[in-house]
Amino acid sequence: MAEEKKLFKVTIDNISVEVEPGTTILNAARQIGGDIVPPAMCYYSKLQGSGGKCRTCLVKVSKGSEADPRPMPKLVASCRTTVMDGMEVANITSPEVIEARKGVVEILLLNHPLDCPICDQAGECHLQDLSYEHGVSATRYEFKRRTFDKVDLGDKIQLHMTRCILCYRCVFTADQLTEKREHGVLGRGEHAEIGTYIKESLDNDFIGNVIDVCPVGALTDKTFRFKNRVWFLKPVDAHRNCENPKCCGKTTLWMRGEEVFRVTARKDVYGEVEAFICDTCRFDKKEAKDWVVEGPRNISRSSVISQNHYVKTVKPQETIEKVLDGRKPKLLMDIHTVSEVNRPGIDLSQIEGPAHSDDFNKKGVQ
Amino acid sequence: MGRKLLLDKAHIEGIRYYDVYRKNGGYAAAEKALKSMTTDQVLDEVKKSGLRGRGGAGFPTGLKWSFIAKPEGVPRYLVCNADESEPGTFKDRYLMEFLPHLLIEGLLISSYTLGANSTYIYIRGEYAWIPDILEEAIAEAKKNGWLGKNIQGTGFDLEIYVQRGGGAYICGEETALIESLEGKRGNPRLKPPFPAVKGLWQSPTVVNNVETLAAVVPIINIGGEEYAKIGVGKSTGTKLISACGNINKPGVYEIDMTISVEEFIYSEEYCGGIPNGKRLKACIPGGSSVPILPANLLLTTAKGEKRMMNYESLNDGGFATGTMMGSGGFIVLDEDQCVVRHTLSLARFYHHESCGQCSPCREGTGWMKRVLLNIENGKGKMSDIDLLWDIQRKIEGNTICPLGDAAAWPVAAAIRHFRDEFEWHITHPEEALKRNFGLAHYADPLPVPQPVA
Ligand SMILES: Cc1cc2nc3c(=O)[nH]c(=O)nc-3n(C[C@H](O)[C@H](O)[C@H](O)COP(=O)(O)O)c2cc1C
Ligand code: SF4
Ligand code: SF4
Ligand code: FES
């Protein structure tokens, strides 16, 4: 009989889990799930060597292990620190961690413009989520932010360095997924920037994946840019028999009616690509007939994309009548009679795709 | 007079050359180690000596060597860190320039002990003339059978290669140095794995400072126990101090770590006091990254004792009242010096030198610099002092490598000990500008001097 593998017990925010030796604190937390999972802006489980850079995943190790219970002197990057048996970790239960994370968010936002309203990544941006969770409404930074001109990296990808947070994910992607790496980080410190090899274009089979791994809106898909806001689109899982043997051909289509606006790889709960896709699938197959649609994609991340996608909602009981002993409340104004738009007969959730002005055509008012 | 172990022969004419070095006892330690000692015996001597790394962190060298992994069939490497880019530190330069054979002998003994057959000297790009001196000495050593195959018939092989760095401070950090040596961007690696397990080309590697490796020679010559008797407590042996700033005799001194800071600054043997009879204001005793101390805390420890020039005494009381030995770059400031200005100067340096991998260091160092620039230029606000304090706290301890800490500590210490000076700048902007030595508009980046028409 094969010897049973010894598992390590780790306790994160008072919740214990047993994991295989070699598991990082972040991945142990992901096995537990929920709020205790540290955020990650640079780690990407599918990319070797990623992580450790952004410092958003810092946690406090209050007990090193059963054998050596001493706490670790500094906060550690949970994405790169492996668990020990008996380790105890504090994430959201540590005020020190929350404070440090707030600091990291503030620092990440120094040079990142908060231009979400015009950024193509709005709704899908991890930094946007992070700043909502940990940020403050005002910045104490009163200096000019660094800005760059937009650069077209080939005909399909646009780089806007102004928004880049130098997480290196795209560099690792290009390095590990494509045959040759044509871009990397140039310069040092605050002058560091993502750049191509003497303005070469990125035109490898799999290079489009850099768009998917970019946590912010620095790398965008030119075939989609500003054609729509993601939350107006309906994500569906689809597949096709891709000729490229390395491509799984399984994607998410972002549709409106029959129109395919955008094709991306499928992402998991942490916003990470499940399997990378080739550029043909991503950029060239933009018609519904190219694909076999499997069904709606469940976006489980707490993102605006999943907002208003009511699943299993329970209609609130009308309580006012109860309170008023069965009397109906006196309405000062009935919005339906005034607007003639929000007709009670129309159930928004029944409309195919997002609501459109045609659905509220006055002529249709009965 | 303190005992000299490294620079005792530095004054001998022509000691740079093999013949003179050999005639004056050179390579005796190498001969002893390679011919009459096992590697374990050498390691034991180094452990007994209590030698602590002279690159800054002061980690016990013997212990560090004993960590090196020894997997079968995998080469091991020794790398000599000659990057020496810490502002205020210039001791390694002196050793390499005047006593190249001392370093080579130290490298030979250390490589033998570690089982390394290839050793690299990674030298900072700005020391443009020193690689030639080293190459010349290496060729001489090779010619005389101290390098190459089967050294002195002992069966031990060693090649020493000199590699010039591109001139980036971060390449002095050991893992960034290894990356750079491999021909990549000098970004620090995340630890673990430590270089002792996976270093250069994923092989077990030890990175040591020039002075540390040179110190192995006297340790073998006089024995580890004898070496440990010199100095005090855990500060054994001698230490090179590069002294600069407002002192009468800037230079590189070898001390035995039993003298007081006061003696070091004022005695004729060392710095020779402060020019023009000015008063001592402050000092950064261990290279720019260690906390600055005001005169009173510099001369007396938290316990009210005389502050001595050694690891423990300089550290007394932690950062609230103490500082660090660091790399031994001793920078003295007289009463006319402006701490705000000095802090700005250091902040500019760390901002410029950050590798940019981790967000707190990449962005935070620039933020500190800009706030300091405002204060120095009479545009500061009172709240800026607390803001600076807050920014440095957000960087310290939260980064991949210690450059983040190195950038944070000078700012923290300056505010801790010289808060009134920051306040004065803010409340007296006009005067602050006037005493700004004509560099009032200390722009960002520094203005390039224009040729006079
Ligand atoms: C930013 C940074 C720069 C450094 N620069 C140097 C250097 O120039 N020379 C050096 O010997 N050590 C430098 N160090 C320390 C090295 O990482 C390493 O600790 C040292 O070379 C080990 O040698 P030792 O054990 O002999 O002291 C630096 C560390 C940091 C974080
Ligand atoms: S472009 Fe995007 S993926 Fe690449 S380093 Fe910048 S933020 Fe990261
Ligand atoms: S602390 Fe600074 S120098 Fe060190 S890895 Fe991070 S960004 Fe680079
Ligand atoms: S996700 Fe861990 S440091 Fe970036």
DSSP states of A188-214 as a string?
SGGG-EEEEGGG-----TTTTHHHHH-
The gap from C-alpha A227 to its chain's centroid, in whole angstroms, comes to: 20
What's the confidence (pLDDT) of residue B327? Answer: 95
Q: Is the ipTM above a cut-off of 0.90?
A: no
Whether residue A278 is predicted with pLDDT greater than 80 in this model: the reply is yes
Distance CA B155, CA B88 (A): 42
* B362/A140 touch (CB, cutoff 8 Å), yes or no: no
In the block, which residue shows the tokens 């340790």?
B219
What's the confidence (pLDDT) of residue A84? Answer: 96
Residues of chain A in contact with residue B364, where contact means CB-CB under 8 angstroms, are 107
Cβ(A271)–Cβ(A125) below 8 Å: no
pLDDT tens for each residue of A165-182: 999 999 999 888 887 777
Domain locations in chain A as residue ranges: 8-108, 126-138+145-221, 230-306
Distance CA B395, CA B45 (A): 39
Whether residue B353 is predicted with pLDDT greater than 90 in this model: the reply is yes
What's the confidence (pLDDT) of residue B68? Answer: 95
What's the confidence (pLDDT) of residue B205? Answer: 98
Which residues, including other chains, have CB under 8 Å from residue A34's CB and lie 6 or more apart?
Answer: none
Long-range contact set of residues A131-134: C-beta below 8 Å, sequence gap at least 24:
A131/A105, A133/A39, A134/A98, A134/A101, A134/A102, A134/A105
Q: What is the DSSP string of B157-207?
A: -BEEEEEE--S-GGGGSHHHHHHHHTTS--PPPPSSSPTTTS-GGGS-EEE
Whether residue A352 is predicted with pLDDT greater than 70 in this model: the reply is no
Average pLDDT over all residues of chain B:
93
Distance CA A35, CA A37 (A): 5
Query: Residue with the nearest Cα to atom 4 of ligand 2?
Result: A170
**Dihedral angle of Cα B115, B119, B124, B125, to the nearest 10 degrees:** -160
Query: Residue with the nearest Cα to atom 12 of ligand 1?
Result: B55
Which residues, including other chains, have CB under 8 Å from residue A60's CB and lie 6 or more apart?
Answer: A71, A72, A75, A76, A89, A90, A91, A94, A96, A97
Whether residue A254 is predicted with pLDDT greater than 80 in this model: the reply is yes
**What is the B362 CA–ligand 3 centroid distance (Å)?**
7
Instruction: Label the pairing between strands A250-256 and A259-265.
Output: antiparallel
Distance CA A29, CA A36 (A): 7
Q: Which of A152, A167, A202 to mutate to test the pocket of ligand 2 (most atoms within 8 A of CB)?
A: A167
What's the confidence (pLDDT) of residue B430? Answer: 85
What's the confidence (pLDDT) of residue A299? Answer: 74
Distance CA A172, CA B60 (A): 36
Burial class (CB in 10 A: 0-12, 13-18, 19+), B404: buried
Chain B nearest C-alpha distance from A203 (Å): 24
Among candidates B363, B365, B393 on the partner chain, residue whose Cβ is nearest the Cβ of A111: B363
Give A192's pLDDT tier (boundaries 50, 70, 90).
confident
Chain A nearest C-alpha distance from B52 (Å): 22
What's the confidence (pLDDT) of residue A96? Answer: 96
What's the confidence (pLDDT) of residue A196? Answer: 76
What's the confidence (pLDDT) of residue B442? Answer: 42
User: Does B359 reach chain A within 8 Å, measured CB to CB?
Assistant: yes
Question: Can you tell me which atom of ligand 3 is nearest the CA of B399?
Answer: 1
Provide the strand spans (E) within A179-303. Answer: 183-186, 193-196, 219-221, 234-239, 250-256, 259-265, 292-296
What's the confidence (pLDDT) of residue A129? Answer: 87
Overall average pLDDT of the A316-327 stretch: 71
Overall average pLDDT of the B373-390 stretch: 94
Give yes or no for residue A216 CB within 6 A of ligand 2. yes
What's the confidence (pLDDT) of residue A115? Answer: 85
Lowest mean pLDDT among A301-315, B15-29, B353-367: A301-315
Give A331's pLDDT tier (boundaries 50, 70, 90).
confident
Distance CA A215, CA A366 (A): 48
Residue B320 token pair: 């609230």
* A110/B351 touch (CB, cutoff 8 Å), yes or no: no
Chain B nearest C-alpha distance from A283 (Å): 31
Q: Which of B6, B51, B78, B81 to mutate to test the pocket of ligand 1 (most atoms within 8 A of CB)?
A: B81
Overall average pLDDT of the B84-110 stretch: 97
Overall average pLDDT of the A81-103 stretch: 96
Give B224's pLDDT tier (boundaries 50, 70, 90).
very high
* B190/A103 touch (CB, cutoff 8 Å), yes or no: no
Distance CA A84, CA A72 (A): 12
User: Does A190 reach chain B within 8 Å, measured CB to CB?
Assistant: yes
Whether residue B452 is predicted with pLDDT greater than 90 in this model: the reply is no
Cβ(A121)–Cβ(A159) below 8 Å: no
Distance CA B204, CA B150 (A): 23
Whether residue A275 is predicted with pLDDT greater than 50 in this model: the reply is yes
Chain B nearest C-alpha distance from A100 (Å): 6
Give A5's pLDDT tier (boundaries 50, 70, 90).
confident
Overall average pLDDT of the B23-51 stretch: 97
pLDDT tens for each residue of B242-284: 999 999 999 999 999 999 999 999 999 999 999 999 999 999 9
Query: What's the predicted TM-score (pTM) here?
Result: 0.89
* A52/B397 touch (CB, cutoff 8 Å), yes or no: no
Lowest mean pLDDT among A216-220, A358-362, B209-213, B276-280: A358-362
What class, spelled out in words, does domain A126-138+145-221 have in CATH? alpha beta
Peptide bond into B410 cis (omega under 30): no
Whether residue A321 is predicted with pLDDT greater than 90 in this model: the reply is no
Give yes or no for residue B353 CB within 6 A of ligand 1. no
Distance CA B173, CA B180 (A): 10
pLDDT tens for each residue of B288-334: 999 999 999 999 998 899 999 999 999 998 999 999 999 999 999 99
Whether residue B167 is predicted with pLDDT greater than 60 in this model: the reply is yes
Burial class (CB in 10 A: 0-12, 13-18, 19+), A325: exposed
Whether residue B440 is predicted with pLDDT greater than 60 in this model: the reply is no
What's the confidence (pLDDT) of residue A295? Answer: 87
User: Does B393 reach chain A within 8 Å, measured CB to CB?
Assistant: yes
Which residues, including other chains, have CB under 8 Å from residue B123's CB and lie 6 or more apart?
Answer: B82, B83, B96, B130, B131, B134, B162, B163, B164, B165
Overall average pLDDT of the B209-230 stretch: 97
Q: Looking at per-residue confidence, does A13 or A184 come out higher?
A: A13
Residues of chain B in contact with residue A197, where contact means CB-CB under 8 angstroms, are none
What's the confidence (pLDDT) of residue A364? Answer: 46
pLDDT tens for each residue of A132-175: 888 777 789 999 888 999 988 888 999 999 999 999 999 999 88
Cβ(B262)–Cβ(B299) below 8 Å: yes
Give yes or no for residue B207 CB within 6 A of ligand 1. yes
Overall average pLDDT of the A245-269 stretch: 92
Nearest CA in chain B to A189: B356
Q: What is the largest CA-CA distance in chain B?
A: 73
Give yes or no for residue B171 CB within 6 A of ligand 3. no
Overall average pLDDT of the B193-211 stretch: 97
Question: What CATH code is assigned to A8-108?
Answer: 3.10.20.740
Residue A167 token pair: 């997480």
